[in-house]
């Protein structure tokens, strides 16, 4: 009961193996839950214990190795044959006496891969320092190589089937953002506005439901707009204040992030209105300039030149690859729309372009998630690009 | 604007330093976001980039080191003086050329701690294999020690101020579970029931709002009850089916997990009704037996003996320490209610006792979150312990 056809997973595995061979890696231990899902279909909230997918150049299908109690979930969500789904006993869980990665090492050795070059995702969220040390202990004859982001780079270009899911996430995103803007009023507690956003994220549309996004809703106001990663309180929103809305919708683990800015009150400062106009114009222009064959850095250049005309500059990147993911981040950590990024855009690469302009005591942000199409780009959501003033 | 008084953070630091000294650790690099919060108050969704709190035996207050853009959040949520809040430049983020832990190493060396014994949390979720390697690179003269769970063990015994927050989480948990049971009906889509749960989690009560729990709602039904970590779909709940509800409420990052079982339909199987009665009786008895001074394993013995009388046995542990936490887990990974755990219960230790009995094609679970009190235990939530039959 995989989300996609088995042929799609085999194609992904094929591309992964090509990259492995190019990097001199014989056996890949993928611990990133998004990569595990991408390669096998596996989807469960079980990444709080060590688990992985093992891809070997000399095996047709990968191994799924996880906690014994999650074997049923792997049977349910992956295309793998029974023999390739392996659970470790519960006495490996959360103890100093042994570690699940010892078990993984043993499984790799048992299959005759113990003296191969083993690629590990050195900077993946759930591959801890100890996980690496314990894997090495049980594979004393292996050579280790850093395979961080190897699968992520394969993920960058989506299949048409993935795009269908991302369009659904886009439809949910419309509802999520509209709900947020509708719910924002002076006097409404931040937690209640956030509750409405969560409600919309999960209920989705009449036709299909939503999934949990990899990042919680961010809806800061007042002085907290300068602290981008603080979450909500139960204080009420105030009148004549700006609210940043950094939200997302998720469908089958595929994301459509979306950001807007709202102003609660009758009197948005003229400088904010002006900044909003420049930023939205820049977003429109930059999206319109996107073409396959263009480099990622060239996209950023379009934006940079536009803003320079009005005497403004944004220091950080203006976008990043995104798609399938798990907490704590929906970004894919590969291509970015920023100076120096030479990635050549290809159809079905998917990005979140987020233009946030922060001045001393005000700011404006507006974003779109899009795919590169055959001759331009296609945005997934459809919410007006503007400063929402709620008088 | 810390959640607790500065004196409380200083007390936590004092206890942490005692444990560090006992373990021969001079400098502790705490990357676990719960430990960072516990030691300084820091609370933000920024753990998707490397960050840490550095505690040195020879410094009164710790350093907070994180991404430059999160410095404002650290100022807002910690008690630390400005000089102890250090942001790394954005060119350290997500690149192979350098790593934030290089910067952390440099800061440690700059303070004259470069040849000390440095404790790192080897199995913490967001301390990656590469983070450790990169920290070592910039501290070539340091000795490294495993400080995994060192702060977690301090967290095990809550202060009275923490208990106040956990009681609030308990009040939200009542609403969360009641909402879930109310919303469950044959024909309701799983995603819509989950949406109502999220709504209740964040809205909290009239007096105070809720925070995001470290684990998403789990409400499996049908054949998926045997796969404990699969999340929801948009399929409707069916008639004459069992639903497991593993939920939680969170307040200021403190959790109150709560589990119940519901049966949708008029005809719950007699064997399920009987199992529920035995399990609830066992839960009641086991909670009633808890006293400070008792060992964790002895709590499990009470349950085990009760179930043996009716010819049943549960293989896994029946509870674990919990409290302050971030995704992907609300458990503290320290004391467990299981055979062999010699932890002596003390007042204000907090646990989630979860009794799940799984047969071939049915099962029942019921749980309570509680603190050990002066003469027994106090549960945080107040939802009837029973099989909820929704005819």
Distance from CA of A253 to the nearest CA of B (A): 11
Q: Rg (Cα) of chain B, in Å, rounded?
A: 23
Q: What are phi and psi of A156, to 5 degrees?
A: -55, -45
Q: Classify the C-alpha dihedral B114-B118-B123-B126 as positive or negative.
A: negative
Domains in chain B with CATH codes: 6-155 (3.40.350.10), 160-390 (3.90.230.10)
Q: CA B334, CA B327: separation in Å to the nearest integer?
A: 17
Query: How close, in Å, is residue B77 to chain A by CA atoms?
Result: 9
Tell me which chain B residues have a C-beta less than 8 angstroms from the C-beta of A358. Answer: none
Structure tokens at B9: 């953070």
> Chain B: residue nearest A200 by CA?
B195
Structure tokens at A172: 């949910």
Nearest CA distance, B73 vs chain A (angstrom): 5
Q: How far apart are CA A251 and CA A128, in angstroms?
A: 28
Q: CA-nearest residue of chain B to A75?
A: B227
pLDDT band at B362 (very low <50, low <70, confident <90, very high): confident
- Segments in chain B forming alpha helices (H): 6-22, 33-40, 71-77, 100-110, 129-137, 150-155, 160-183, 190-203, 270-289, 296-309
CB nearest A148 (choices: B44, B130, B211): B130
CA nearest to A203 within chain B: B192
Q: How many CB atoms lie within 10 A of CB B339?
A: 12
Measured distance CA(A139)–CA(A114) in Å, rounded = 6
> Which residue among A90, A195, A218 sits closest to B203, beta carbon to beta carbon?
A195
Is B91 in the A-facing interface, judged by CB distances under 8 Å? no
Find chain A residues with C-beta within 8 A of B72's C-beta.
Answer: 226-228
CB within 8 Å of chain A, chain B residues 103-142? 120, 122-133
Query: Which residue of chain A has the CA closest to B135?
Result: A129
pLDDT band of residue B316 (cuts 50, 70, 90) is confident
Bond from prior residue into A328 cis (ω within 30 degrees of 0): yes
Which of B227, B244, B247 to mutate to probe the A interface, most A CBs <10 Å?
A: B227
Closest Cα in chain B to A220: B73
Q: How many CB atoms lie within 10 A of CB A97?
A: 7
The answer to whether A132 contacts B127, with C-beta atoms less than 8 Å apart, is: no
Give the tokens for residue A98: 């042994």
Number of other residues whose CB lies within 10 A of the CB of residue B299: 27
- CB < 8 Å from B in window 41-70 of A: 43-48, 69-70
Using CB atoms and an 8 Å cut-off, which of residues 304-333 of chain B contact chain A? 315-316, 327-329, 333
> In sequence order, what are the beta bridge partners of B379?
B370
pLDDT at B214: 98
Helix ranges restricted to H, B216-374? 270-289, 296-309
Determine the 3-state secondary structure of A160 from DSSP: helix
At B110, list the tokens.
Answer: 């700059």
What's the gap in Å between the CA of B218 and the closest CA on chain A?
9
Nearest to A128 among B72, B75, B127 (CB): B127
pLDDT of residue A358: 82
Count of CB atoms within 10 A of residue A19's CB? 16
Q: Which residues of B touch A327 (CB under 8 A)?
A: 327-328
- Average pLDDT for B315-324: 92
Nearest residue, CB atoms, B125 vs list A126, A192, A233: A126
3-state SS class at A165: helix
Chain B residues near residue A194 by CB distance under 8 angstroms? 202
Crossing angle between the packed helical segments B129-137 and B100-110, to the nearest 10 degrees: 40
Contact criterion met (CB below 8 Å) for A19 and A38: no
Q: How far apart are CA A254 and CA B265, in angstroms?
A: 34
Confidence of residue B233 (pLDDT cuts 50, 70, 90): very high
Residues B142-197 have pLDDT tens digits of: 999 999 999 999 999 999 999 999 999 999 999 999 999 999 999 999 999 999 99
- What is the band of B330 on the pLDDT scale with cuts at 50, 70, 90? very high
pLDDT of residue A225: 84
CB contact under 8 A, B73 and A329: no
CB A147 within 8 A of CB A119: yes
Q: How far is CA B23 from CA A365, B91, B224, in A?
A: 48, 35, 44
Q: In chain B, which residues have their Cβ closer than 8 Å to the Cβ of A99?
A: 123
Q: Is the pLDDT of residue B211 over 90?
A: yes
Query: Residue B53 has what pLDDT?
Result: 98
Of A43, A129, A216, nearest to B127 by CB-CB distance is A129
Find residues 70-89 of chain B whose CB sits inside 8 Å of chain A.
70, 72-73, 75-77
Interface probe with B: pick from A224, A328, A335, A365, most Cβ of B within 10 Å? A328
Residues of A in contact with B129 (CB under 8 A): 120, 122-123, 127-129, 131-132
Q: Which of A45, A123, A131 sits opposite B229 (nearest CB)?
A: A45
Q: Is A360 exposed, middle or buried (0-12, 13-18, 19+ CB in 10 A)?
A: exposed
Dig out the tokens for A225 from the structure.
């707009």
pLDDT digits (tens, 9 = 90+) for A317-340: 899 999 999 999 999 999 999 999
Residues of chain A where predicted confidence (pLDDT) is lower than 50: none
Q: Is A231 on the interface with B (CB under 8 A)?
A: yes
pLDDT higher than 80, residue B297: yes
**Which chain A residues are Cβ-neighbours of B30 within 8 angstroms?**
none
Which B residues in the span 165-224 are in contact with A, Cβ-Cβ below 8 Å?
A: 189-192, 194-196, 198-204, 208-212, 215-216, 218, 223-224
Tell me which residue of B370, B293, B325, B295 sits closest to B152, measured CA to CA.
B325
Residues 332-361 of A with CB under 8 A from B: 333
**Structure-block tokens of residue B137:** 């690179």
The residues facing B56 across adjacent strands are: B27
The answer to whether the CB atoms of A232 and B224 lie below 8 A apart is: no
Mean pLDDT over the full length of chain B:
96
Cβ of B199 within 8 Å of Cβ of A201? The answer is: no
Q: What is the CA radius of gyration of chain A?
A: 23
Question: Which of A211, A212, A230 has its CB closest to that of B77?
Answer: A230
Q: Report how far residue B221's alpha carbon sits from residue B243's, in angstroms, rounded to the nearest whole number.
A: 5
Alpha-carbon gap: B44 to the closest alpha carbon of chain A (Å) = 5
Residue of chain B whose alpha carbon sits nearest to that of A194: B202
Vertex B215, ends A228 and A330: CA angle to 5°?
45
Q: How far apart are CA B43 and CA B1, in angstroms?
A: 11
Residue of A nearest to B189 (CA): A209
Per residue in B37-88, pLDDT (tens digit) is 999 999 999 999 999 999 999 999 999 999 999 999 999 999 999 999 999 9
- Contact between chains at B194 and A202 (C-beta distance less than 8 A): yes
Q: Identify the H or E element spanning A195.
A: helix A190-203
CA atoms in the 13 A half-sphere facing the CB of A97 = 5
CA separation for the pair A356, B206 (Å, rounded): 34
Average pLDDT, chain A: 96
Looking at residue B1, what is its pLDDT? 82
Mean per-residue pLDDT, B381-391: 96
**Four-residue CA torsion sign, A84, A88, A94, A95:** negative
pLDDT at position B228 over 90:
no
Within 10 A of A18 (CB to CB), how many other CB atoms are there? 12
Sign of CA dihedral B10, B16, B17, B19: positive
Give DSSP secondary structure letters for A71-135.
Answer: HHHHHHH----GGGEEEEPGGGSS-SS--HHHHHHHHHHHTT-TTSEEEE-TT-TT-BHHHHHHH
Q: Which residues of A touch B208 (CB under 8 A)?
A: 234
DSSP state of B74: H
Confidence check: pLDDT of B358 > 90 = no
Contact, B196 vs B183, CB < 8 A?
yes
Chain A residues with beta carbon closer than 8 angstroms to that of B190: 209
Binary contact (A218, B45; C-beta < 8 A): yes
Q: What is the mean pLDDT of residues B359-376?
A: 93
Burial B204-216 (b: 16+ CB within 10 A, else e): bbeebbbbbbbbb
Closest approach of chain B CAs to the CA of A148, in angstroms? 9
Which chain A residue is nearest to residue B75, measuring alpha carbons? A227
Listed residue (A88, A112, A103) closest to A135, CA to CA: A103
pLDDT-wise least confident of B66-75, B194-203, B266-275, B353-362: B353-362
């Amino acid at each position: 009961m995989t989300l996609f056809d088995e042929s799609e997973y085999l194609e992904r595995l094929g591309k992964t193996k090509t990259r492995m061979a190019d990097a001199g890696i014989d056996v890949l231990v993928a611990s990133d839950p998004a990569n595990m899902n991408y390669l096998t279909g596996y989807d469960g909230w079980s990444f709080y214990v060590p688990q992985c997918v093992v891809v070997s150049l000399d095996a047709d299908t990968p191994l799924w190795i996880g906690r014994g109690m999650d074997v049923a979930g792997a049977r349910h969500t992956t295309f793998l044959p029974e023999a390739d789904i392996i659970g470790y006993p519960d006495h490996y869980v959360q103890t100093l006496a042994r570690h699940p990665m010892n078990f993984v090492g043993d499984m790799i050795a048992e299959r005759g891969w113990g003296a191969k070059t083993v690629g590990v995702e050195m900077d993946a969220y759930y591959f801890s320092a100890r996980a690496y040390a314990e894997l090495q202990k049980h594979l004393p004859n292996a050579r280790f190589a850093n395979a961080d982001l190897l699968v992520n780079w394969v993920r960058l270009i989506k299949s048409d089937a993935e795009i269908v899911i991302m369009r659904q996430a886009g439809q949910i995103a419309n509802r999520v953002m509209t709900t947020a803007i509708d719910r924002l009023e002076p006097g409404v507690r931040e937690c209640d506005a956030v509750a409405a956003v969560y409600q919309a994220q999960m209920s989705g549309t009449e036709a299909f439901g939503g999934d949990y996004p990899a990042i919680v809703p961010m809806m800061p106001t007042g002085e907290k707009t300068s602290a981008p990663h603080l979450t909500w309180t139960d204080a009420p929103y105030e009148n004549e204040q700006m609210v940043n809305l950094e939200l997302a919708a998720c469908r089958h683990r595929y994301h459509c992030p979306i950001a807007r800015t709202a102003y609660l009150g009758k009197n948005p400062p003229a400088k904010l209105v002006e900044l909003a106009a420049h930023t939205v114009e820049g977003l429109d222009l930059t999206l319109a300039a996107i073409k396959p064959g263009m480099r990622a850095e060239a996209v950023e250049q379009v934006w940079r030149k536009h803003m320079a005309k009005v005497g403004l500059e944004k220091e950080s990147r203006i976008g990043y690859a995104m798609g399938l993911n798990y907490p704590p981040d929906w970004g894919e950590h590969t291509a970015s729309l920023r100076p120096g990024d030479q990635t050549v855009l290809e159809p079905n690469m998917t990005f979140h372009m987020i233009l946030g302009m922060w001045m001393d005591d005000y700011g404006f942000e507006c974003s779109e998630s899009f795919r590169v199409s055959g001759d331009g780009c296609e945005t997934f959501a459809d919410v007006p690009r503007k400063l929402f003033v709620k008088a």
